[in-house]
Amino acid sequence: VDSGIEHTEYFNNDKVLNEYYPKCCELGKRMTGAETVYAFDHNLRSKAMSDAKKMVDGGNAVQGPAFVVHNDYSVVSAPRRARDLALPPKMNDTLRPLLGDTPLIDPTKIDELLKGRWAIINVWRNIRTTPVQKLPLGLCEGPTIPMSDVITFEIHYADRVGENYFAAHSKEHQWFYFPEITRDEAVLLKCWDSAGEAFAPKDGSTGKTVPATFSFHSAFEDPSSKADAEDRESVEVRTIAFFPAES
Dihedral over Cα of 67, 37, 60, 77: its sign: negative
Distance CA 170, CA 29 (A): 34
Contacts of 53 (CB under 8 A, 6+ apart): 61
| 233: helix, strand or coil | strand
Query: Do residues 126 and 181 touch, judged by C-beta distance below 8 A?
Result: yes
pLDDT value at 125 more than 60: yes
Q: Where are the domains of the chain?
A: 13-198+210-242
Contact 240, 85 (CB under 8 A): yes
The model's pTM:
0.93
- 91 pLDDT band (50/70/90 cuts)? confident
The pLDDT score that the predictor gives to residue 247 is 55
Rounded to whole angstroms, the Cα distance separating 51 from 131 reads: 22
From residue 159, alpha-carbon distances to 48, 89, 99, 143, 193 in Å are: 29, 11, 18, 33, 25
Query: Which residues pair with residue 25 across a beta bridge?
Result: none
Asked which of 32-46, 54-68, 189-203 is least confident by mean pLDDT, the reply is: 189-203
- DSSP secondary structure string for all residues of 166-182: EE---TT--EE--TT--
- Residues 92-111: tens digit of each pLDDT: 899 999 999 999 999 999 99
Three-state secondary structure call for residue 111: helix
pLDDT (mean) for 22-33: 96
pLDDT confidence of residue 126: 96
* Candidate ranges 46-50, 119-123, 242-246; pick with highest mean pLDDT: 119-123
Write down the mean pLDDT value for the chain. Answer: 92
Which has more confidence, 52 or 159?
A: 52
| Strand ranges, E, within 187-232 | 187-193, 217-219
What confidence tens digit (pLDDT) does each residue in 207-216 have? Answer: 778 989 999 9
Q: Does domain 13-198+210-242 have CATH number 2.60.120?
A: yes
**Predicted confidence (pLDDT) at residue 78 exceeds the cutoff of 60:** yes
pLDDT at 200: 76
- pLDDT value at position 156? 83
Report the alpha-carbon distance of residue 41 to residue 92 in Å, rounded: 11
**Helices and strands of the chain, counted as H and E runs:** 6, 10
Q: How many degrees, rounded to 5, is the angle at CA 181 between CA 176 and CA 182?
A: 165
Instruction: Render pLDDT for 170-186 as a digit per residue (tens, 0 to 9).
Output: 999 999 999 999 999 99
Of residues 59 and 190, the one with the higher pLDDT is 190
pLDDT at position 159 is: 72
CA distance 175 to 197: 20
27 by DSSP, 3-state: which? helix
Look at residue 44 in the predicted model and tell me its pLDDT.
97
